Amino acid sequence: MNKEGHIDLEKISGSIEPLSSMENIINVVDLSDNFLDIEKSLRQINFEHANCLPYKESMELIFSDLESVKRKINLLADALRKTKANYTDISSFSERDLKEFTKIYKETPAGEDLSKLVGEALKGKIKSVVSEVKAELPTEMTTSDNGNVTTIPIPETTPTTEEPFNTVPIGIAIGATGIAGSIGAVIVDDMYSKKNKKNKRISHNDVYIEEYTGDDILDDSSYSATQRDLYNDPGIVQGPYRAARMEREADRYYGNQLQGMNLSEDDNIYVDADDDDDDNYN
């Protein structure tokens, strides 16, 4: 977060005493007593009905404003004391501190502005995590065949959805583990997997994650002969398995819905035509 700003601790320290003094006065001396005396006098006058003085609304307004002044002076004095005690310079402000200040100053336009700053900070954080995750993925694959080295680029899929910052769970750590599911990013499955790993399907509400074993790939007619050959080639450099493919459509189950689809080698959809274990899809 770009923390531009300024804290003059000397000035702030100098204001704490006057603010504390105001705090004491406003808390000890009940300034509303004056207005209670006025109300009493007006009641004794017994105005004729025809010219009844509507003073009650005015009095309520005054009492309400007095309470608000009292509350804000207490908040302000407290905020200054905290600022002095906890911060030496603007760069030591964290997003958490900003949130705290947002609460203190929420009744002012500054509170909204601070809230926006917090939001922007979080948004910036999400973008940087996505960038980091994507940076870890290999962008190309190198093969060698009797000394002939071939480089095959791995296609990259851009995120299909971008969640607004205020709905992204704080557990942004999820993105950091490589799944990045919470931000709807789709990481391309490069069809390589660890061997001897069982088929595993996980579905969570409308989110569908699947992992594929290498043997399934060999049998999968959606892959071209070239791709299958590449997979079988002992010279192939296999990267770590990353089969995190997210489906947001609840009905994109395996099997029947996808059977018969004319899938091309570019489609990132894996079909297990033999799967009849529908119980897993919950």
Residues found near other proteins in the complex (CB under 8 A):
2-8, 11-16, 18-19, 21-22, 25-26, 29, 31, 34-35, 37-38, 41-42, 45-48, 50-55, 58-59, 61-62, 65-66, 68-69, 72-73, 75-76, 79-80, 83, 90, 93, 98, 101, 104-105, 107-111, 113-114, 117
With respect to other proteins, which residue has the nearer C-beta, 70 or 245?
Answer: 70
Least distance to other proteins, CB of residue 165, Å: 17
Helix or strand or coil: residue 252?
coil
Distance from the Cα of residue 60 to its chain's centroid: 43
With respect to other proteins, which residue has the nearer C-beta, 48 or 140?
Answer: 48
Least distance to other proteins, CB of residue 168, Å: 22
With respect to other proteins, which residue has the nearer C-beta, 25 or 261?
Answer: 25
The Cα 207–Cα 106 span in angstroms is: 37
Contacts of residue 121, Cβ cutoff 8 Å, sequence gap at least 6: 1, 95, 98
Question: What is the phi/psi pair of residue 179, to 5°?
Answer: -80, -40
With respect to other proteins, which residue has the nearer C-beta, 53 or 135?
Answer: 53
Least distance to other proteins, CB of residue 147, Å: 59
The count of other CB atoms within 10 Å of the CB of residue 185 is 21
With respect to other proteins, which residue has the nearer C-beta, 18 or 155?
Answer: 18
Least distance to other proteins, CB of residue 65, Å: 5
CA dihedral (128, 130, 131, 132) positive or negative: positive
**What count of Cα atoms within 13 Å lies in the side-chain half-sphere of residue 171?**
6
Question: 10: part of which helix (H) or strand (E)?
Answer: helix 9-28
CA dihedral (19, 77, 2, 165) positive or negative: negative
With respect to other proteins, which residue has the nearer C-beta, 16 or 137?
Answer: 16
Least distance to other proteins, CB of residue 170, Å: 22
**What count of Cα atoms within 13 Å lies in the side-chain half-sphere of residue 57?**
3
Please state at what angle helix 55-86 crosses helix 9-28, rounded to 10 degrees.
Answer: 140
Rg (CA), the chain: 33
Least distance to other proteins, CB of residue 276, Å: 58
Least distance to other proteins, CB of residue 124, Å: 13
With respect to other proteins, which residue has the nearer C-beta, 21 or 256?
Answer: 21
